[in-house]
Amino acid sequence: MSSPVPLSFEKHGKLRLNELRDFTQFATQHLVPVVFQEFYTLATEFPLVFVRNSESGDFVPVAMMGLTKNRNLYCQSPQWTPAYIPASFLLAPLSLVRVDNEKMEAVICIDDDNPLLSESSGEPMFEVGGGYTEYLQKRIDHVTEVTRQSVQTSAVCQLLAEKQLLRTRPVSLQQSAMTTRYELEGIYTIDEEVLEGLDEQEFMALRQRGLLPLIYSHLTSLHQFDRLLRLQTAADQQSQADVATAPAGQTSVTE
């Protein structure tokens, strides 16, 4: 992927933008970053947990879409079956890039090499006079809003960490004695005991900031580990069946 460059009529005026309909580009991303504003809808399908950024150590909320690294169970085929599409899936090829940290200034940039861009198909991005089309403005508004929500999410994660509400513990999942056991490490969840142990002032502060519904959505989403385990077990069984039926001498590569 090339580095994003500032979006301009002079350079990108002839380009059109296509909608992303094939999500297989995320097939190897089993942890998908999300923002807190998505928790209400995502919690009905995916386990929502927290992981630590390997470079900064900051906490990041993610939707788990697979139990093994490099395999997103929902993106192995172009068809997307859940009712809601994570906001991060719909950002490309646009991004909001900060150009001045002191003044908090940022510009809309675009990845020139993204396959969603074309001169022959898709929605026009610019009017004849150089202004944004209504379609492009909606896409830019989406990128801007998700970026704003990401900043808010980072601040909330920092607060949860300061209150020592996030804990990590191994998670062991197995559908039956005949299927693979999955041991998950490095994921964090809200510690309900610590939450219940907060004094009234601290608890009310979370409520006043509107965080309690987000926290409870997160806790509810953990029941979706059962759904994810069923999908993973079915995928494992299909891989085993493919190996068993492969023609003699043919090598089959599985995750």
| pTM exceeds 0.85, yes or no | yes
For residue 150, give the H/E element and its range.
helix 134-162
Q: How confident is the model at residue 253 (pLDDT cuts 50, 70, 90)?
A: very low
Number of domains the chain is built from: 1
Q: What confidence tens digit (pLDDT) does each residue in 174-206 have? A: 999 999 999 999 999 999 999 999 999 999 999
Residues 93, 117: contact at Cβ < 8 Å? yes
Q: What are phi and psi of 225, to 5 degrees?
A: -60, -35
Is residue 253 in a domain?
A: no
Q: How confident is the model at residue 162 (pLDDT cuts 50, 70, 90)?
A: very high
Is residue 255 in a domain?
A: no
Is residue 224 in a domain?
A: yes
Query: Long-range contact list for 94-100, CB < 8 A, 24+ apart?
Result: 94/7, 94/139, 94/140, 94/143, 95/4, 95/143, 96/143, 96/144, 96/147, 97/4, 97/6
Is residue 244 in a domain?
A: no
Q: Whole domain around residue 41: which residue ranges?
A: 5-239
Is residue 177 in a domain?
A: yes
